[in-house]
Amino acid sequence: EAGVAQSPRYKIIEKRQSVAFWCNPISGHATLYWYQQILGQGPKLLIQFQNNGVVDDSQLPKDRFSAERLKGVDSTLKIQPAKLEDSAVYLCATRGDRGLAGELFFGEGSRLTVL
């Protein structure tokens, strides 16, 4: 079974520029998450999708971050304009059909550096 694919792996941009991250989940996994992991902190949930609907985006900074999941499969996370404090690893994760106690399957992450 193919895992969760993310791209790009690394991105360096200047502040106020924009960036987009892409996630291709495991086939059939309906629930998809984007997490932000800042160095020294635990991953923080940005947005959760169930198929192509948003379940939770309470911690997404909506003035600069946006995310979509077209047709309930691939997802993109965009930051525009980026700030220095957005430097982090952006993790995409999906969950299968084991209900709320099911484990998450993660991609390798996209590491963003904002200069």
Partner 1 sequence: ILNVEQSPQSLHVQEGDSTNFTCSFPSSNFYALHWYRWETAKSPEALFVMTLNGDEKKKGRISATLNTKEGYSYLYIKGSQPEDSATYLCALTDGSGNTGKLIFGQGTTLQVKP
Between the alpha carbon of residue 63 and those of residues 14, 24, 83, 114, the distances in Å are 18, 25, 12, 17
| Contact positions with partner 1 (CB under 8 A) in 49-68 | 55-56
Residue 87 — φ and ψ, nearest 5°?
-60, 120
Candidates 14-22, 33-41, 66-74, 79-87 — which segment interacts with partner 1 by CB under 8 A? 33-41
Binding mask 85-104 for partner 1 (x = CB under 8 A): ------x-x-x---xxxxxx
Contact 37, 57 (CB under 8 A): no
Q: What number of chain residues touch partner 1 (CB under 8 A)?
A: 28
Rule CB under 8 A: is residue 45 a binding residue for partner 1? yes
Alpha-carbon distance 111 to 34, whole Å?
13
Residues that bind partner 1 (CB under 8 A): 3-4, 31, 33, 35, 40-45, 48, 55-56, 91, 93, 95, 99-109
